[in-house]
Structure 1
Amino acid sequence: MSKHSIGWLGTGNMGAVMSGMLLDSGADVTVWNRTVSKTEPLVAKGAKVAGSVAELGANDIVFVMVSASADLIAVTKGEGGLLTAERRPKIIVDCSTVSAEASAEVRAAAEEAGVAFIASPISGNPHMVAEGRAAIVTSGPKATFDEVEGYLKVMAPTVVWAGPGEECRLVKICHNLLLGMITQALVEVTALAEKGGVTRAAFTSFINGSVLGSTFINHKSRAIVARDYTPTFNNKMLRKDYDLGLGAARTLEVPMPLSSMVHQLIQTAIGHGFAEEDYAALYEVEARAAGLPLRGEE
């Protein structure tokens, strides 16, 4: 892996883990976050802190991890953004989950500013990323991907180049649609077993030991058993991705009956007060509809 100075913009739950992994690998990393206190654990690992977004432009490569399309546009094209600063990075790598339209807008602005742009959304919650179980799908110029691939592999064992444009955005949105559908299927069958007298723990232990078991189902079933919805990815954020995915489906004329139904169930969970809770809280909607007593289990 070649040696570059690295900037990291956005040190929330996911960004902190990913930038921390780069620091642990020996990379020279400067970080910026709107809430400065969130950078303190990274400073303890050796990170420097930029005083502004524009200051990050002094680095060779700047990674971005923000919550939404508007945020990406703001920190790149907006006043004081990476692309409007006096000093600009050679490469911007955006690891956020945003729309293909926003990504294309930033890519065009980056090209005009003489900056290469790579889209690299990551799959996995912060715990899975820290455990080395993440996957990254990337698209953009192949030569630029080759230059940053080594850094991406520090953060995820699986790194896939999907094409020269915005292909990775659709891949990541499809991935998140599947997350919601699998979770809804899991809460439905768990509620059915529970209504028939089987504990959630017993049922999900069986599923996890069967051919259907997976890292994802194991993590979500633990949350459902305990009714612990500490967010790894909350319902409001999942709804955003469903909005993006169903919008892409309309554009491409692809019927999405299951996704459309799950979209409404996510909305129902938000309506019940679970907007900021993990999307495993879809169990709460199902359990209430099934008339189940709401109790935790060990």
Structure 2
Amino acid sequence: MSSGSEENLKMIDLKTVGWLGTGRMGAAAAHRLLDAGHPVTVWNRTKSKTDPIAAAGATVVDTIPELAGNDVVFICVSASKDLEEVVIGANGLLSGDLRPKVVVDCSTVSAESSALVRERAAELGVAFLASPVSGNAHVVAEGGACLIASGPREVFDAVEPFLNVLGKVAVWAGEEEQARLVKLAHNLYLGMMVQALAEVTTLAEKAGVPRANFLEFLNGTVLASDWVRKRTPDLVALDFTPTFTATLLRKDFDLGLAAARREEVPMPVGATVHQAIQAAVGLGHGDDDLLSLYAVQAKISALKGEDK
């Protein structure tokens, strides 16, 4: 982004908001902006999925370029190639003569794709902020999400009021793609934590301790966390209704371990958990919640009655 564009950005009062991608996460976040009084225009590949947010007051458009008239456009998509397609593709956000002032991407994607989109946007005088979100759709809806952002500091400062609506904290990490690595490190840790929980819970159960009792004890110790406490009822009930799927977790481990190789950082625990996630996907849990790692651990441990 040119210094002239950054100077112009400081003088712009960002008011109108576009939201591209209204899946579980995107819809929850866009709802928060609506509830805060911001006018929001949305697009989603499957238009019927925009019905609930349209009922809440959002304007729905038929094509991505129709979002470009907004001051700032947020994006929430599943994969790196999706980000490239919806922003710099032939029919993407920046394909027409009308362009937003700022693009904020809340997806979890590779640093390479993010840098490519950032470069193309800068060539067109559009500011770009990488701002992935920590928290599932329920957490976002409750205002408990955390956002990590990277890009020019002037861009972060201009967008920060919106980020503070989306979550309880927004942290600036640097001028380039640092936010991408932070989010991948976060999701690597999440996967390692869930696999560890699956292993120790299975061990206790196979030794004769009821799953609910073991988790009640664990949640009272210094090893407890808000995430485990919140997900304990689901694990006790073996409810794998997706909040974050095993397939999406595998994608983030693919990206995170690739980043570790580039940085020459060994990750023996992460590499092992990567294979456990692959096993969950291979056994048909790809569209289930990441708690389905427990189902795999129970199965390979021959835990009777826990073969869901």
Instruction: Identify the residue that residue 8 of structure 1 maps to in structure 2.
Output: 19
| Residue 111 (1) aligns with residue 122 (2) | yes
| Residue 61 (1) aligns with residue 94 (2) | no
Instruction: Identify the residue that residue 257 of structure 1 maps to in structure 2.
Output: 268
Q: Separation in 1 of the partners of 2:296 and 2:54?
A: 41
Q: Separation in 2 of the partners of 1:220 and 1:67?
A: 23
TM-score, with structure 1 as normaliser: 0.97
Aligned match for 1:285, one of 293, 296, 299 = 296
1:287–1:294 Cα contact (<8 Å) kept: no
Partner of 1:221, secondary structure, is helix
Q: Deviations over 1:18-59 (max 9, x none)?
A: 000000000010000011111111111111111210000000
Partner of 1:161, secondary structure, is strand
One-letter code of the match for 1:185? A
| Residue 50 (1) aligns with residue 61 (2) | yes
Q: Deviations over 1:156-185 (max 9, x none)?
A: 011100000000000000000000000011
Aligned match for 2:92, one of 78, 81, 86 = 81
Instruction: Identify the residue that residue 130 of structure 1 maps to in structure 2.
Output: 141
Q: Deviations over 1:160-216 (max 9, x none)?
A: 000000000000000000000000110111011111111111111111122111121
Q: Which runs of 5+ in 2 are unaligned?
A: 1-12
Q: Separation in 1 of the partners of 2:306 and 2:278?
A: 23
Q: Return the offset for 1:219.
A: 2.9
Partner of 1:57, secondary structure, is helix
Aligned match for 2:194, one of 183, 186, 199 = 183
1:64–1:95 Cα contact (<8 Å) kept: yes
Aligned match for 2:213, one of 202, 223, 245 = 202
Q: Return the offset for 1:295.
A: 4.3
Instruction: Identify the residue that residue 161 of structure 1 maps to in structure 2.
Output: 172
The ranges of structure 1 where at least 4 consecutive aligned residues each deviate by more than 6 angstroms after the TM superposition are none
Q: Which runs of 5+ in 1 are unaligned?
A: none
One-letter code of the match for 2:248? M
Q: Separation in 2 of the partners of 1:26 and 1:233?
A: 28
Q: Separation in 1 of the partners of 2:145 and 2:240?
A: 21
Q: Deviations over 1:136-163 (max 9, x none)?
A: 0000010110011010111101110000
Q: Deviations over 1:104-160 (max 9, x none)?
A: 000000000110000000001111111222100000010110011010111101110
Q: Separation in 1 of the partners of 2:106 and 2:91?
A: 20
The verdict on how the C-alpha distance between 1:66 and 1:92 changes in structure 2, with shifts beyond 3 A counting, is same
2:148–2:179 Cα contact (<8 Å) kept: yes
1:3–1:27 Cα contact (<8 Å) kept: no
One-letter code of the match for 1:30? T
Instruction: Identify the residue that residue 266 of structure 1 maps to in structure 2.
Output: 277
| Residue 25 (1) aligns with residue 25 (2) | no
Percentage of identical aligned residues: 55
TM-score, with structure 2 as normaliser: 0.94
Instruction: Identify the residue that residue 6 of structure 2 maps to in structure 1.
Output: none
Partner of 1:19, secondary structure, is helix
Instruction: Identify the residue that residue 258 of structure 2 maps to in structure 1.
Output: 247
Q: Separation in 2 of the partners of 1:74 and 1:103?
A: 12
Q: Separation in 1 of the partners of 2:301 and 2:58?
A: 50
Partner of 1:160, secondary structure, is strand
